[in-house]
Structure 1
Amino acid sequence: MSNHPALARRLGTFDASLIGLGSMIGAGVFAAFTPAAAAAGSGLLIGLVVAAFVAFCNATSSAQLAARYPTSGGTYVYGRERLGPWSGFLAGWGFVIGKTASAAAMAMTFAAYAAPQGWERPVAIAAVVLLTAVNYHGVTRTAGLTRVLVVAVLGALAIAVAAVWGGSGPDMGNIVGEGLLAHGWYGVLQSAGLLFFAFAGYARIATMGEEVRDPRRTIPRAITIALGITIVIYAVIAFSLLAVLGPSGVAGTPTPLAGAVAAGSMAWVAPVVRIGAAVASLGALLALIAGLGRTSLAMAREHDLPPWLAAVHPKYKVPHRAEIALAVVVCLVITVADLRGAIGFSSFGVLLYYLVANVAAYTQPKEDRRYPKFLQVAGAVACVGLVLTLPPLSVGLGVLMFAVGIMYRLLRLRRNRTKP
C-alpha cells in the first residue's frame, strides 16, 4: 500500500475524540431510542447496558488493532492483516453497506427535526450534498466543523435535560412502566442491537488512522474518551425520556426528546431541542461521510472496490472520488428507506464488522496486546447474538447484501485469473 498517495496526519487526541463523539451522539439520542422502546419498553435500559458493554469490548479491540495498523480502512485492514483477504473484505463490505444506511438514517433524522412537512427527503438529500462538499475540502475542515457541532449539541442536551427535570413532567414510576422484562429477553436483546447503532461512532477514529498524529497513543485514548462520555450522556437521556413519556410514549414518536420537553411546563425550550437534534444529526452525518470515504479508499487500493475510488485529491488530500460516489448512493437510499429499517440494516452490517475486529484482535501477539483476550471473546459472541435478535427484515436484507458483495468479489477474482 506504500505506492499509493498518503493522507495527511493532522488530527490530535482532542480532534479525534470530537469526531468519535460527534459520530455517536447524533445517532443515539435522536434516533435509536424510539425503535428500542418499541422492542423492549422500559427494558431498553437493560438493552442500553448490554449495548454499552458490547461497544466497550469492540472499542478495546479496535484500539488495540489501530495502534498496530494506523492506516485508513479500520477493520477492513485489520481483517486482511490478521485473518486474510476474505475476512477483511467481509468486514469492509459490512462497514460500507451498514454505514451507508447509517448516513441515510442521520440525514433523515436531521430532516425530521428541521424540514417542513413533506420536504423531509429533499432536505435530507441536500444535507448529504452539503456535508460531502465540506469533507471534500480536507479533514481539518471536517474536524473544525465537528467541534462547533459537538459544542452546540451538548448545550442543547443540557438545556433539554434541565427542562425535563425542572418542569412538572417527570414521574419516576414511568421509568419502570410495566416492568423491565415486560417484553421478554428477546425484546431486550433486540433493543440492544438497535441501540448498538448509536455507539458505533468510535470506529470513525480507527478508520481515519492514516490522518491521526502519533496513532499508537492517540487512537486508543480518543476511542476511550469518546465512548466513555457517550455512555454517560445516553444513560441520562434514557432515564429522562422514560420519566416523562413512559415506554409507550418514547416508542410512539420519532422525536422523543423534543416530545419530552414539550410535555412539561417548560415547553418553550422545545425549539432549542429541535435545533440541537438537527445539529447533532449533521455532526454524525459529517463523520459518517468521512469514515465511509476512508474505508472505501482502503478497499479500492486492494481492488475490493473499483480501483478508481482509490484516488486522493492532490490539494485537499482526501479520497474525493470515494466520498462523491458514496454520497450518491446515500441519496438514493434516502429516496426509498424509512428510519427504523435503516437503523436495523445498519446494525446488521456494523455488528458483523466488529465480529471480524474482535476475532482479529484475539489473534494479536503478546507484544501488541493491550487488553485481555476475554474481552475479544465476549465481544465476538455478543455481536453474533445481537445480529440474531435484529428485526427479521433487517437480517434478510443484510444477508442479501452480503451475498451481493461475495458474488462481486468472486467475479473479480475469477476475471483476474483469466487475464492473459
Structure 2
Amino acid sequence: MAGGAPHPPKVMGVADLAMFYVVTGVSLRWIATAAAFGPSSILVWIGAMLCFYLPFVLAIVELSSRYPQEGGLYIWTREAFGPYVGFMAGWSYFTSNLPYFPSVLYFDAGNALYIGGESLQFLRGNPVFFMGFALTALAFITAINIFGLRFGRWLHNLGAVGMWGPALIVIVLGFAAWWQFGSATRFTPAAFVPVFDIQHMIMWAAIAFALSGAETASFMSGEIREPRRTIPRALPIAGVVIVSCYIIGTFAVLLAMPAGEVNTLQGLIQAGAVAAQKVGAGWIVVPLALLITLGNLGAASGFLSCAARIPFAVGIDRLLPPVFARVHPKWGTPYVAILVQGGLGAVLCILGQAGTGVKGAYDVLVSMGIIAAFLPFALVFLAVIRLQGRPAEHGVTRLPGGRVTSILFACLGLATTLVALVLAAFPAPDEPNKLLAVIKILGLTAVLLGSGSVVYILGQRAARRAA
C-alpha cells in the first residue's frame, strides 16, 4: 500500500452499518421540500420508493455481493463497462458530493439558528452567515474523517439519531397538535393526487434523490466486517427507518402547518416550533434544532467518508497520481483524498453563492448534486443488466427469480433515474434569474464531467509512462 501504512481497519458491523445507512439515507431537508407541495407529495414518496428506492437497494445488494472490494459503484461499472466508464461513474459521484456538502450545510445552518431562539433569526437571509457555517462545518468533518471510522462512526451514529430523532419528535408534535386543534392542512382525496406541472415534477426528482444513500457504504467495503453478509442484513433495517421518516414526517409537518407556509430551508424545525407552541411545549424547539444540526453534520461526514474512497480506489488503479493512494501513517485513512474532497466542497460553496441569494444558491447546488449523482446511478442499473450474462460465484446474493427479476427491477430503476435527470435540469419556479440558474446548473455540471475526462486521459498517460 502506498505510504507504507496498513489498509484501513475493518471496524463496521451490522449495527454501525445500519446507522450509517440511516444517516446517509435520511435527509430532513427533503421532508420540508415535500411538505411544501402538500399532501400529493405523500403519494410521490410512495411512488419513488417503489420505482427507485426498492430497485436501487436490490441492485446494491447484488453488485456489492459480486464485487465486495473497496470502491463501490466505481468497481461495479468498471467491471461491467471497462475502465473509462468506471472512472467517469466514480468521478461523477465524487463530484456530486461537492455541491452536496454546501447544500446540506446551508440547510443545517438554517436550522441551527433555532438553537439561539428568536435572537438569531435576523441571520435567516444572511449569505455570509450561511457560507461561514458551511465552511466551518466542512473543516470539522474533514478533520474527523482523517482520524478514521474508529472515531468517525460515532459522529455517524450520533448523526443517525439526529435524523430519526427529530422526525419522531415532529411526528409526535404534529399528531398532538392535530388531536387538540385539528389539522392545519385539508386532506381530501383530491389533495393526494399528484399535480403534473413543471413545478411539482421538479420536486419529484428531489424526492427520488432523497431516497439515495444505499450506495454509500459499499465504497468502504474494505472497512466492513464480512461485507457480503453485513450489507444485505443492514440495508432492510435502515430502509424501514428511512421510508418511515420521510412519509410519516411529511404527513406530520402538514398536520402542523399549511403547505404554503413551509420554508424548504427550515421547514422541519419550523413545523416543530409551530406544533410545539400549539401544545405548550415550546421548550423542545432548542433540543430539536440541536439534534437536526448534529444529524446533518453526521450525514455530511458520512458522505465525505464514502466519497473520498473513490479517488483512493482510483489512485490504487494508478489513474490518479499515486498520492491519492496514500494512507495516513497513524490513522490508516486515505487522508489526501479526504483533504481534496473537503477542499473542493469549500470551493463549490463559494461558487454556488456567487451572484445569488441564500435560496438561489441552495437550489443551484441541489440541482447540480442531483444530476451528478443520478448519472452514475443510471450506470449502476445498466451494470446490473450487463452483468447478468456473467456467472455468479459461490456466496453471491441473487434475487428470487434470478436474471429475469434483476433485469426487470433494473429497468424500472433506470427509467425513473432518467426521468429524474431531465427534471433536475429545470430551475426552481421561484428563481428570479432562471437563465443564470440554468447556466450555473448545466455549466458547472459540464465542467465537473469534462474535467473528469481530462483527468482520466492524463492518468492513462501517466500509467503508461510508469509502466
Verify same fold: TM over 0.5: yes
The letter for the 1-side match of 2:374 is L
Cα RMSD (Å): 2.7
Relative distance call for 1:313 and 1:418 in structure 2 (3 A) is closer
* 1:175 positional shift: 4.3
> Contact between 2:53 and 2:208, CA under 8 Å: does it hold in 1?
yes
Deviation at 1:270, TM superposition (A): 2.4
Aligned match of 2:222: 210
* Contact 1:32–1:195 (Cα < 8 Å) also in 2: yes
- Number of equivalenced pairs: 415
Counterpart of 1:103 in structure 2: which amino acid?
F
Query: 1:241 aligns to what?
Result: 253
Return the offset for 1:237: 0.6
Cα deviation, residue 210, structure 1? 0.8
Contact preservation (8 Å) 1:199, 1:227? no
Partner of residue 405, structure 1: 452
| Alpha-carbon distance in structure 2 between the residues aligned to 1:335 and 1:34 | 25
Q: Match of 2:268?
A: 257
User: Residue 47 of structure 1 contacts residue 188 of structure 1 at CA under 8 Å; is this kept in 2?
Assistant: no
Question: How far did residue 404 of structure 1 move?
Answer: 2.8
Seen in structure 2, the aligned counterparts of structure 1 residues 43 and 341 have a Cα distance that, compared at 3 Å, is farther
Match of 1:370 in 2: 398
Cα pair distance change 1:240/1:409, threshold 3 Å: same
Structure 1 residues 155 and 181: alpha-carbon distance in aligned structure 2, compared to 1, 3 A threshold: closer
**Relative to structure 2, which stretch is displaced further, 304-313 or 370-379?**
304-313
The alpha-carbon deviation at position 342 of structure 1 amounts to 1.7
C-alpha change, 1:64 and 1:185, in structure 2 (3 Å) is farther
> How far did residue 170 of structure 1 move?
5.1
Give per-residue Cα distances to partners, 1:207-252, cap 9 Å, x unaligned.
11110111111112222322232001111111112233333223x4
For residues 398 and 34 of structure 1, the distance between their equivalents in structure 2, rounded to whole angstroms, comes to 26
C-alpha distance 104-176 of structure 1, shift in aligned 2 (>3 A) = farther
> How much does 1:361 deviate?
1.8
Greater Cα shift, 155-164 or 177-186: 177-186
C-alpha contact 1:109 1:278 (8 A) present in aligned 2: no
Query: Unpaired segments of 5 or more residues in structure 1?
Result: none
- Over residues 249-308 of structure 1, what are the superposed CA-to-partner deviations in whole Å (9 max), with x where a residue is unaligned? 23x442111221222303603223222211111110110110111122112222343331
Q: TM-score, normalised by structure 1?
A: 0.90
My pick for the range that moved more, 43-52 or 81-90, is 43-52
- Residue 422 (structure 2) pairs with residue 388 (structure 1): yes
Which moved further from structure 2: 176-185 or 374-383?
176-185
Which runs of 5 or more residues in structure 2 are unaligned? Answer: 114-119, 353-360, 400-404, 427-437
Alignment of 1:4-153 (within 5 A): 6-25=7-26, 27=27, 29=28, 31-36=29-34, 41-53=38-50, 54-115=52-113, 116=120, 117=123, 118=126, 119-153=129-163
State yes or no: 1:198 paired with 2:210: yes
Q: How does 1:307-318 map to 2 (within 5 A)?
A: 307-318=322-333
Aligned equivalents of 1:106 and 1:261: distance in 2? 19
Spell out the pairing of 1:233-312 with structure 2 (5 A cutoff): 233-250=245-262, 252-264=263-275, 265-266=278-279, 268=282, 269-312=284-327
Q: Is the 8 A contact 1:202 1:226 kept in 2?
A: no
Aligned pair in 2 of structure 1 residues 4, 175: CA closer, same or farther (>3 Å)? farther
- TM-fit CA distance, 1:43: 3.0
1:140 and 1:359, CA in 2 relative to 1: closer, same or farther beyond 3 A? same
Partner Cα distance (1:402, 1:234) in 2: 31
Give 1:320 deviation, angstroms: 0.7
Q: In structure 2, how many angstroms separate the alpha carbons of the residues matched to 1:192 and 1:18?
A: 26
What letter is aligned with 2:93?
Answer: F
Partners of 2:333 and 2:464 lie apart in 1 by: 32
Q: CA deviation at 1:114?
A: 1.7
Change over 3 Å in CA distance of 1:403–1:21 after alignment to 2: same
Q: Distance in 2 between matches of 1:129 and 1:170?
A: 44
Q: Distance in 2 between matches of 1:176 and 1:299?
A: 52
* 1:139-176 Cα shifts (integer Å, max 9, x gaps): 12111222233234433332222112112565274345
Rg bigger for which structure? 2
Letter in 1 for 2:135: I
Could you list the per-position Cα deviations for residues 5-37 of structure 1 after superposition, in whole angstroms to 9, with x for gaps in the alignment?
532212111111111111122x2x2x2244445
1:158-208 per-position Cα deviation (integer Å, ceiling 9, x unaligned): 222211211256527434597345641654442221123322222221111
Flag the 1:120–1:331 CA change in 2: closer, same or farther, 3 A: same
| 1:329 equivalenced with 2:344 (yes/no) | yes
Q: Distance in 2 between matches of 1:169 and 1:234?
A: 24
| % identical equivalent positions | 21
Q: Which deviates further from its counterpart, 7-16 or 143-152? A: 143-152
